[in-house]
Amino acid sequence: MKSIANYAHDLIVSAIQQTATDIHFSPFNETAYIHFRIHGKRIFHSSLPLPMYKKLLSYFKFTAGMDIGEHKRPQNGTYQHRTNQTVFDLRLSTLPITGTESLAIRLLRPMDHTPLEQLFLFPYQTERIQQWLHHRNGMILLTGPTGSGKTTTLYALLQSLMTTSSFQAITLEDPIEKNLNNIIQVQVNERAGITYDTGLKAALRHDPDLLMVGEIRDKPTAQFAFRAALSGHLVISTIHARDAHGTVHRLREMNIKQTDMEQTMIAIASQQLVTVEGAEHLPQRAAILELLDGVRLQKAIKGESSAQEPFYSFSKLRRKAYALGFISSSEVDTFS
């Protein structure tokens, strides 16, 4: 029988080979079920007897620097997996349940230098986003579900901007998923007192032209990010919302004033991934975007109707992609 260390290693390798983004361990009764998330879908992989799962859980917690004796509180940890000269960052999270803990592992792949124009299904959307980068101050927000490629888009935006402008750029990330040249990257570490809020305050003392905030998670971070945009900085960040128009409602929930949104908001891009068929020039999955900018964005902020302004929702974009032969009929009404 395999040792626990070998089993863990083979499981991670299997997930990497199948391009999984997450591994879920779900213990019920005397069995732990293992699922991989592949292309947004949760797929059963295997199961383990509960005693073996508990040993595997202890191994993962120890390797990730977590407290193996703590079972009643959620914990987070990280470690690196090396294979064929490639390093994968693993983020682990435990959640106490009756009798044991569940475990989720996020696999962060080394990000290559994917040009902005290769990320999106429709070229005109790339051109729109590149136009946003001409602004010297204001706020650009990306939204979408976990695993929709928001971070990849953020990095591509940064790389596109840095190739054309000599900017002092600072990022605040949790975690840093890719090292970038000529950019100051700050790792958020709440246990060490480096939150998004404190990191933003420190970053502003370095006279940045551009701030990239990995995620706006709470009201203080949102309000500070908007103050940074109001004070003459270009701020790019992500926020959780259902779609582009829903982002405006989310900002209102975070007590961002309408006048601040009107003065700072450059654009909102809500992102989803679709599986592309028979398109060699595109990756297997490509992004489609709900783009909200200009007059339509200002009217959305004011709560006014803008039916006369053209807007392509996700449903329209999927129907267009199907009509052009990029995606299958099953993708038309599916949300990644």
- CA distances from residue 64 to 8, 101, 302, 313 in whole angstroms, order as listed: 13, 15, 47, 41
* 182 & 239 share domain: yes
Give domain status of residue 32, yes or no: yes
For range 212-232, the mean pLDDT: 89
* 184 & 153 share domain: yes
Residue 92's H or E segment, with its range, is strand 86-97
Q: What is the three-class DSSP state of 59?
A: helix
* 142 & 232 share domain: yes
* 243 & 217 share domain: yes
Does pLDDT of 335 surpass 60? no
Does pLDDT of 279 surpass 60? no
Give domain status of residue 26, yes or no: yes
* 134 & 154 share domain: yes
For range 209-236, the mean pLDDT: 89
> In terms of pLDDT, which residue wins out, 281 or 143?
143
The pLDDT tens digits for 158-196 are 888 887 777 889 998 877 777 777 889 988 877 778 887
Q: What is the tally of structural domains in the chain? A: 2
Last residue of a domain, one of 59, 74, 108: 108
For range 81-108, the mean pLDDT: 88
The pLDDT tens digits for 188-221 are 877 778 887 788 888 888 889 899 988 888 898 8
pLDDT given at position 336:
42
* 124 & 172 share domain: yes
* 17 & 83 share domain: yes
Does pLDDT of 7 surpass 90? yes
CATH number at residue 27: 3.30.450.90
The pLDDT tens digits for 73-94 are 999 888 889 887 788 889 899 9
Say what percent of the chain tops pLDDT 90: 47
* 186 & 320 share domain: yes
Contacts of 294 (CB under 8 A, 6+ apart): 309
pLDDT given at position 116:
84
Give domain status of residue 336, yes or no: no
Last residue of a domain, one of 73, 108, 143: 108
Residue-range definition of the domain harbouring residue 36: 4-108
Give domain status of residue 310, yes or no: yes
Last residue of a domain, one of 83, 108, 133: 108
Which two three-digit tokens encode residue 170? 């600072």
Which long-range contacts does 74-82 make (Cβ < 8 Å, 24+ apart)? 78/175, 81/9, 81/12, 81/16
Give domain status of residue 20, yes or no: yes
* 277 & 142 share domain: yes
> In terms of pLDDT, which residue wins out, 35 or 182?
35
Give domain status of residue 135, yes or no: yes
Does pLDDT of 283 surpass 70? no
Which two three-digit tokens encode residue 253? 């929930």
CATH number at residue 327: 3.40.50.300
* 139 & 72 share domain: no
* 284 & 172 share domain: yes
Q: Given strand 75-83, what is the order of strands in its sheet?
A: 41-49, 31-38, 20-28, 100-108, 86-97, 75-83
The pLDDT tens digits for 240-271 are 888 999 999 999 999 999 999 999 999 999 99
Give domain status of residue 67, yes or no: yes
* 224 & 121 share domain: yes
Say what percent of the chain tops pLDDT 70: 94
Give domain status of residue 208, yes or no: yes
pLDDT given at position 173:
84
